Every structure is written in C-alpha cells, then in structure tokens.
Amino acid sequence: MALIELELNDINDHVGDSMEFEVSGDVSDPQLPGIGQGVINPVTVKGVAINSGDGILVEATADAKVGLICSRCLEDFQTRLSVPISCEYRKGEAVEESRPEGGRELSWYQGDSIDLSGEVRDQLLLEVPMKPLCDEKCRGLCSQCGINLNHQGCECVFDDIDDRLAPLKTLLKEGEQEE
Ligand SMILES: [Zn+2]
Ligand SMILES: [Zn+2]
C-alpha cells in the first residue's frame, strides 16, 4: 500500500523555501467504523509546503471519495469530501509539545519525506456527516412495510387519526364487526 508521501526534496534543507505539490496515495485503515465503505483510496492532496525553520508547514486540500450508508434509506452511496489540511510537521521522534500557532495540527516526520496519510484520515473523519443522506430529498423507508420509497411506492395506508383518538378508533372497528 502506497501511503500519501510528500517528498521534500530541496526544501528540507533550506529555511524559507516552499513548493507546491500534488500527491496521491492511500490512507491506512480507511474503514471508518459504522459508516459503510469508508474512504475509497486513493486520496489526492494538493497544496503548498513551506520550510518555516521550526518545521515544514503544509497547507493543502485533500479530496477523497467516501462510501457511506444513508441514514434514511440505509443504502450505500458514494460522495466526495474535500477537507483542508493545515499541519506543521517537525523533524524527529514524536514528543509531547504544545500546538503550533494558527490552529494548525502538529505532527512528526523523519528523513526526507512526510507521510500525510494520518493527518488526511483524521480530517476526513471529522468531515463525515453524523447522519449521511444519499440525497437531500431521500424519501427513506416506509415505516410499515420497509420498502425503499426512492425506488417504488407501497400500498400502505396511514391513518390520520392520532394516538389520542386510537381507543375511539378501536371502538368504531368493534362496532363494525358486530353489525
Ligand atoms: Zn437515502
Ligand atoms: Zn409501505
């Protein structure tokens, strides 16, 4: 599996250098629990990397296709998510350190390349809707027969009588039977 690897080339050694990049690769563990297929690899990340002296600042956008389950009709569907990546990567082993300024995430790298896949996965997870909908107008399932109303109608009859009147309705029915 090819992770989302950003080769730093020259900018790794020169403070102030920057480069635009577009890389694609796979996020590991793309199966997001309980929401369908999860991230469908590969994912594309496009943006700019800057050597700030403290580390490499990555400002980018990750575009991914994700497979979700509609919360109304329970069918699988695919959609695209586009999430901002704003992360400062410092060289070396991961240590506890305060977050960098500007709302960026903090992460770590070694060598001459940065693996973006962890950060990309985290940001995609945040962007997945709590109640995914295959379509704003999804008609969902019939609460009586369970048919998917997007595909076909059903014959179910819904009484308008609300629960408070239910006892009366029962009486009426009994009356009918006695006749
Ligand atoms: Zn749906
Ligand atoms: Zn029905």
Which residues hold their Cβ within 5 A of ligand 1, which is an ion? 70, 72-73, 134, 138
Distance of CA 134 from the midpoint of ligand 1 (Å): 4
Q: Which ligand is nearest to the CA of 144?
A: 2
Q: Which segment of 23-32, 41-50, 131-140, 157-166 scores lowest on mean pLDDT?
A: 157-166
**Tokens standing for 138?**
């999804």
Q: Residue 175 pLDDT > 70, yes or no?
A: no
Separation of alpha carbons 174 and 69, rounded Å = 44
3-state DSSP assignment of residue 45: strand
pLDDT, tens only, 114-140: 999 999 999 998 888 889 999 999 999
Distance 78 CA to ligand 1 centre (A): 11
Report pLDDT for 17: 96
Question: Residue 132: nearest ligand to its CA?
Answer: 1
- In the chain, what is the straight-line distance between the N-terminal and C-terminal CA atoms, in Å? 74
Expressed in angstroms and rounded, the spacing between residue 69 Cα and the centre of ligand 1 is 8
